[in-house]
Amino acid sequence: GAVVSQHPSRVICKSGTSVKIECRSLDFQATTMFWYRQFPKQSLMLMATSNEGSKATYEQGVEKDKFLINHASLTLSTLTVTSAHPEDSSFYICSAAGGAAEQFFGPGTRLTVL
Amino acid sequence: SQKIEQNSEALNIQEGKTATLTCNYTNYSPAYLQWYRQDPGRGPVFLLLIRENEKEKRKERLKVTFDTTLKQSLFHITASQPADSATYLCALEVSGGYNKLIFGAGTRLAVHP
């Protein structure tokens, strides 16, 4: 299957700082990228959908000013958690789709906010 | 509202047996349903997709059924191996475009030698 990478895999930051997570599709052009958050033993919760060159569409309850998404190219999307707080600590996962129904997921980023 | 249910209890089976996992949904008529595998601390990996007009799909030791009347999908792993131990997620397409998915909480499978 297609390969999607995420960087960093793990990040620890102080409360109030901003953290940027990169998601790259390595061997295909992703028309759409998705950002999910997963708390321990819970399901993946979709945060937002982004298409290259346009503004991201956020799910209900997700603050767009706190979770900034940039989809600059067909192979790169970034999620910036601004002014992070301990409750933002979670496992953030991106996925990419190339037009077909299946999504290819990155390995995830473990964010810990102290 | 749309709801997906997977058995939250872990499924423990003996190596070589067939594992069967269940996914039920309500208030929903998805065009397709997908199954993913997730290992601890990793992102999900796509396994199979089945469309609403398909009753059954197979891939190697995997089989998925889709009953739109019962609003249920069954996921089978035949001749299970310890390496099949993981959490298996059911996901349904959200109407409205962009191939959005909503996921069940997953069922953890443990295959014992």
pLDDT digits (tens, 9 = 90+) for B68-93: 999 999 999 999 999 999 999 999 98
**Confidence label for A6 from pLDDT (cuts 50, 70 and 90):** very high
Write the CA distances from A53 to A22, A59, A67, A70, B87, integer angstroms. 16, 19, 17, 8, 35
Work out the angle at residue A97's Cα, subtended by the Cα atoms of residues A92 and A99, and round it to the nearest 5 degrees. Answer: 160
Nearest-angstrom CA–CA distance, B46 and A75: 19
Tokens 């349903």 belong to residue? B33
Q: Please, what sign has the CA dihedral across residues B39, B95, A77, A37?
A: negative
Paired strand residues for B50:
B33
Query: In one letter, which amino acid is B56?
Result: E
Using CA atoms, how far residue B8 sits from A57, A73, B78, B82, B106, in Å, is: 30, 38, 21, 20, 7
Distance from CA of B103 to the nearest CA of A (A): 6
CA separation for the pair B4, B38 (Å, rounded): 17
Chain A CA closest to residue B8:
A41
pLDDT digits (tens, 9 = 90+) for A9-60: 999 999 999 999 999 999 888 889 999 999 988 889 999 999 887 889 999 9
Residues of A in contact with B43 (CB under 8 A): 4, 6, 93, 95, 105-108
Please give the structure tokens belonging to residue B91: 């996901």
